[in-house]
Amino acid sequence: MKNKDIDRYNLTDKEKAELRHLRNLRRRLKPKGCFEPQDKARLRELQLNGQKD
């Protein structure tokens, strides 16, 4: 998932920063800049929380 994909979800700046941070850490470890399952889970969690508001 790219940064523009992160922007597609209506998350707070803090949540976006968290996801970008996870992604950047991951990218340093692995050349593929892909979301790991725990990132996806966190994104889903943030999306669900956002829908409740």
Q: Range of 21's domain?
A: 3-52
Largest CA distance in the chain: 36
Query: What's the domain count of the chain?
Result: 1
pLDDT (0 to 100) of residue 7: 66
Per-residue pLDDT at 42 exceeds 70: yes
Question: What number of helices (H) and strands (E) belong to the chain?
Answer: 3, 0
Type of residue at 18: E
Taken in order 24, 28, 31, 37, the sign of the CA dihedral is negative
Per-residue pLDDT at 2 exceeds 50: yes
Q: What is the pLDDT of residues 4-41, one digit of tens each?
A: 666 677 778 888 888 888 877 776 665 554 556 677 77
